[in-house]
């Protein structure tokens, strides 16, 4: 049965741009101008002001990588459901990327795609409240950056990796984008039907460093803890002297080379 208001497919329409400041910004401008359509996807071969998590930028070589944003139209979500959207996106990218690069691909809490200890991709979801034909809608822009064919990275980036570096092969950017959109659409429908169990199962199964000891920083203190799990509302479950849950933003990963 088609879902009310979301019968349209994620990935359609598909807008391909040569260059833009940021596909997330472009999509958000369309949302604010009332021009956004659920499912609309914007891909750019170059971003001049790519945005990353926590106010950082997102560097990506022109014509080498995947940088795109998918617009979704949702009824207002609570914070738990917002994490479900992250899970849905991360699992969709994991499915596409692990098909190409194998089982060393993991999901680093909350929203990075890793190959061993190196970052292959990231997700930036931005939200907006808007009004459309009298009703209030919550729009989310799902921004996805994936290193595909780039082989040299700036020395400032701590641990990047691309699919080409992993497999030695060049990839068609548009084909990977469309595959991710197809998976995202399938998983998003599950999410709307309230079926998050399978998505969480995959997210947890492929969680970076699960059951391994890692270094974390919290309140300026660096400590060792074992990664145990992720809760439905998006907290990381860690175990050190005690078992506790920590929120994104309150704890930071300390990488090997720090």
Rounded to a whole number of angstroms, the minimum distance from the CB of residue 48 to ligand BTN is 10
Closest C-alpha among 191, 203, 199 to residue 72: 191
Rounded to a whole number of angstroms, the minimum distance from the CB of residue 49 to ligand BTN is 7
Number of residues that bind ligand BTN (CB under 6 A): 20
* DSSP string of 64-125, one letter each residue: TSEEEEEEEEES---HHHHHHHHHHHHHHHHHHHHHHH-TTEEEETTTEEEETTEEEEEEEE
Rounded to a whole number of angstroms, the minimum distance from the CB of residue 248 to ligand BTN is 12
Rounded to a whole number of angstroms, the minimum distance from the CB of residue 121 to ligand BTN is 7
* Contact flag: residue 50 with ligand BTN (CB under 6 A): yes
Neighbours of 164 (CB within 10 A): 17
Rounded to a whole number of angstroms, the minimum distance from the CB of residue 169 to ligand BTN is 22
Q: Report the residue number, 121 or 191, with the smaller CB distance to ligand BTN.
A: 121
- Quote the tokens at residue 176: 């990977």
Closest C-alpha among 224, 225, 248 to residue 236: 248
Furthest C-alpha separation in the chain: 54
* Contact flag: residue 112 with ligand BTN (CB under 6 A): yes
Return phi, psi of residue 247, to 5°.
-85, 150
The upper half-sphere exposure of residue 127, i.e. CA atoms within 13 Å in the direction of its Cβ, equals 14
* Contact flag: residue 69 with ligand BTN (CB under 6 A): yes
Considering only 31, 40, 41, 47, the residue that binds ligand BTN (CB under 6 A) is 47
* Contact flag: residue 160 with ligand BTN (CB under 6 A): no
* Contact flag: residue 124 with ligand BTN (CB under 6 A): yes
Interface residues with ligand BTN (CB under 6 A) are: 22-24, 47, 50-53, 56, 58, 67-69, 112, 122-124, 143-145
């Amino acid at each position: 049965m088609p879902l009310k208001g979301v019968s349209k497919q994620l990935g359609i329409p598909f807008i391909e741009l040569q260059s833009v400041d940021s596909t997330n910004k472009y999509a958000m401008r369309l949302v604010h101008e009332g021009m956004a359509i659920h499912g609309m996807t914007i891909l750019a071969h170059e971003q001049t002001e790519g945005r990353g998590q926590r106010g950082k930028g997102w560097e990506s070589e022109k014509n080498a990588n995947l940088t795109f944003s998918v617009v979704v139209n949702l009824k207002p979500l609570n914070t738990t459901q917002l994490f479900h959207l992250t899970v849905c996106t991360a699992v969709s990218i994991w499915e596409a990327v692990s098909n190409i690069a194998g089982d060393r691909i993991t999901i680093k809490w909350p929203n990075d795609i890793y190959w061993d200890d190196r970052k292959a991709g990231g997700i930036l979801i931005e939200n907006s409240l808007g009004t459309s034909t009298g009703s209030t809608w919550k729009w989310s822009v799902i921004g996805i950056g994936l290193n595909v064919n780039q082989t040299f990275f700036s020395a400032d980036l701590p641990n990047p990796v691309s699919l080409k570096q992993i497999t030695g092969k060049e990839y068609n950017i548009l084909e990977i984008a469309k595959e991710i959109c197809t998976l995202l659409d399938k998983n998003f429908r599950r999410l709307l039907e309230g079926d998050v169990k399978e998505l969480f199962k995959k997210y947890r199964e492929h969680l970076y460093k699960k059951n391994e000891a890692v270094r974390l920083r919290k309140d300026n203190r660096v400590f060792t803890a074992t990664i145990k799990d992720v809760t439905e509302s998006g907290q990381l479950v860690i175990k050190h002297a005690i078992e506790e849950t920590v929120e994104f933003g309150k704890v930071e990963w300390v990488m090997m080379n720090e």
